[in-house]
Amino acid sequence: MASSNGSKFIVYGGKPIQGEIEPQGNKNEAMPLMAAACLTDQPVTLQNIPQIEDVRLMEEILHDLGLTSSESDTAQVRRTLTLQAKGTPKSTIQPELGSRLRGSVTLAGPLLARTGEVTLPRPGGDRIGRRRLDTHLQIFSSLGAQVSDIRDGIHIKAKKLKGADILLDETSVTATENGLCAAVMAEGVTVLHNAASEPHVQALGNLLNAMGGRVSGIGTNTLTIEGVKSLKGATHRISADYLEAGSFLALAAVTGGELKIKNTAPQNMRMILQTFGRLGIRTEIKGQDILVPKRQSLEVEKEFGGAVPHIADAPWPGFPADMTSVALVTATQCKGTVLIHEKLFESRLFFVDGLLEMGARIILCDPHRAVVLGSDKLRGAKLASPDIRAGMALLIASLCADGESEIRNIGQIDRGFSRIEERLRSLGAKIQRQ
């Protein structure tokens, strides 16, 4: 992957994209599954893992902890990665590494289970507001660990983890993932109530079972984990990234192009398709593929009685929080008015200042809500990507705008999207990395 340090995208918009594209492997699935390799001394093989910066950083952290890795079948955007922790991994994540990657927090549960302790730096990643760790710490404490706030982060230690009946104080994806990994080798039975059930959480549960774990309730909000003494290696294929597929869907619609998105696992996209349908986007599902017809008349569907519609994120199977930035950009190109409500992060919507510069009509009500008055043509502008999802949203806006746009800080986009400019150029987009 090309270095993104100091790089920028130059985008010439206004041209419909068209053709076929296949989503990469799910980034949010890759992080906890890579971390789960710490739970065994046998090889864990992950197929269809995306070639993105966050995966590279996680691999670097795992190497520092003592794991080995090998790859095969390397392709432009995906590969097969085998990880192995032959000896006991180190228990300390170096601050200079962990602070660069929010996904490093998923190592807490596996390292605690395997080594009996873990030292975590303050998590890094997207600048979208405070990302609390309290639910993670609630789970660890309930399982018998002692949590200490230290100068450079958090130290967690347990002589022995014991199963417990735990009600999570929020439906946190990463806390659920950490809870699964910490409990899988704990003594006795653990029940996680109010657990997250996203497809990538389900994938982790399935991997742990393939490794010899005993996890039941996968796909529900109550997970039961019967502790086992040890785990073995396993092979798992990472599913399609439904967030990337949703981004491609929106891009096709706002540029007026026809696009076939192949092998999307549409069963994971039902709420995304339903929500974009409320913005007037028509799609056709053909097996595992999604077709976006060309030159659609995008119009916001009013709610009963003519009320302004409300699009809000929610835990699975609700509309994903990571899609709200893309939905907001899409709404700028739809006739009508819609309220976008991002409940999870208080800084997610601050990227709208760039859209305002492009001529969008948006009222930012507060850090969580924005009213979009759509259908105005956007114009090119100089922009900066604050996080992965907003970066992709600004790229979509630039590709449907008139004229030239410049997007800086594209390292944020590279963290979640592999070789995005090359793949978009294959669809006719005019985009260059400089």
Q: Which domain holds residue 145?
A: 27-237
Statement to judge: residues 232 and 244 lie in one domain:
no
- Inside any domain, residue 18: yes
Q: Distance (Å, rounded) from C-alpha 175 to C-alpha 133?
A: 8
Does residue 191 carry a pLDDT above 50? yes
Strand bridging mode 189-193 / 165-167: parallel
According to the model, what pLDDT value does residue 119 have? 95
Q: Pick the closest to residue 278 from 245, 310, 244 (CA basis).
A: 310
Please report, as a single letter, which amino acid is at residue 397.
A
Rounded to 10 deg, the angle between the 27-36 and 53-65 helix axes is 10
Statement to judge: residues 38 and 164 lie in one domain:
yes
- Inside any domain, residue 1: no
Q: What is the pLDDT of residues 201-259, one digit of tens each?
A: 999 999 999 999 999 999 999 999 999 999 999 999 999 999 999 999 999 999 999 99
Of 191, 211, 237, the residue at which a domain comes to its end is 237
Q: Distance (Å, rounded) from C-alpha 108 to C-alpha 99?
A: 14
- Inside any domain, residue 50: yes
Q: What is the pLDDT of residues 289-318, one digit of tens each?
A: 999 999 999 999 999 898 999 999 999 999
- Inside any domain, residue 214: yes
Q: What is the pLDDT of residues 95-113, one digit of tens each?
A: 989 888 888 999 999 999 9
Helices (H), 27-143: 27-36, 53-65, 95-98, 108-115, 134-142
Statement to judge: residues 368 and 222 lie in one domain:
no
**pLDDT confidence band for 81 (50 / 70 / 90):** very high
- Number of structural domains (the chain) is 2
What is the separation of C-alpha 293 from the centre of its chain, rounded to a whole number of angstroms?
A: 27
Q: What is the pLDDT of residues 193-212, one digit of tens each?
A: 999 999 999 999 999 999 99
Statement to judge: residues 44 and 106 lie in one domain:
yes
According to the model, what pLDDT value does residue 4 have? 59
- Inside any domain, residue 2: no
Statement to judge: residues 263 and 206 lie in one domain:
no
Statement to judge: residues 53 and 178 lie in one domain:
yes
Q: List 72's β-bridge partners, or say none.
A: 80
Helices then strands (H, E): number in the chain?
A: 14, 23
Statement to judge: residues 317 and 210 lie in one domain:
no
Sign of CA dihedral 374, 377, 383, 387: positive
Q: Pick the closest to residue 262 from 276, 244, 237 (CA basis).
A: 244
126, 241, 313, 322: the active-site residue: 126
Of 205, 237, 269, the residue at which a domain comes to its end is 237
**pLDDT confidence band for 348 (50 / 70 / 90):** confident
Judged on CB neighbours under 10 Å (0-12, 13-18, 19+), 165 is exposed
Which token pair is 47?
Answer: 């197929």
Of 215, 237, 259, the residue at which a domain comes to its end is 237
More confident residue, 128 or 395: 395
- Inside any domain, residue 3: no
Tell me the C-alpha to C-alpha distance, in Å, between residue 157 and each of 60, 64, 92, 154: 24, 20, 12, 10
Q: Which residues, at least 6 apart from 33, have a Cβ–Cβ distance to it below 8 Å? A: 44, 46, 203, 204, 207, 236, 238
Statement to judge: residues 214 and 273 lie in one domain:
no
Does residue 131 carry a pLDDT above 70? no
Q: List 285's β-bridge partners, or say none.
A: 290
Known catalytic residue: 169? no
- Considering the entire predicted model, what is its pTM? 0.94
Statement to judge: residues 145 and 213 lie in one domain:
yes
Statement to judge: residues 279 and 347 lie in one domain:
yes
CB 11 within 8 A of CB 405: yes
Return mean pLDDT, the chain. 94
Which token pair is 302?
Answer: 């009013």
Q: Distance (Å, rounded) from C-alpha 207 to C-alpha 222?
A: 18
Which token pair is 244?
Answer: 């990337």
Statement to judge: residues 279 and 219 lie in one domain:
no
Which CATH number does the domain housing residue 287 bear? 3.65.10.10
Strand bridging mode 19-21 / 8-12: unpaired
Statement to judge: residues 61 and 76 lie in one domain:
yes
Judged on CB neighbours under 10 Å (0-12, 13-18, 19+), 265 is middle
